[in-house]
Structure 1
Amino acid sequence: MEPDVERGLRSLVGAGSSQVSVVAAMRARDASRPTEEDLARAEESLLIVRRGWVPRDELPRR
């Protein structure tokens, strides 16, 4: 892991209060943002299961 990334993660996960600063929260948001490759892989492999979902009798047609 890169030193900058590790230092950023340590500031988020350290002992003590669970609240983080605005800068740390923004850094975590940016670190967790998916890449284009992640999105493409999800499009190919993601299976969505809607448990208990029942389609309506008549769906609107385009």
Structure 2
Amino acid sequence: MLTSPDSVTKIGDYYKDELAKGGWHVTASTVGASSATFTATRGSEGANISVYPRGSGSGITISTHPM
């Protein structure tokens, strides 16, 4: 788990851009003030990213798995 002082929306926008730059295909996503989630694939890899409010900032969980 990671933490950031930034808002959920700002972090969600960051991951949306970075996944595309990294060659990931986002298969599902939501980005809002209270949560951001991404499901993505790249070749034989899969990833899930969740961003949520935590204290005065945000928490981030990232999990990867083979496809």
TM-score by length of 1: 0.30
More RCO (CA 8 Å, sep 6+) = 2
Q: Whose helix fraction is larger, Structure 1's or Structure 2's?
A: 1
- So what's the TM-score if we normalise by structure 2? 0.28
Higher strand share: 2
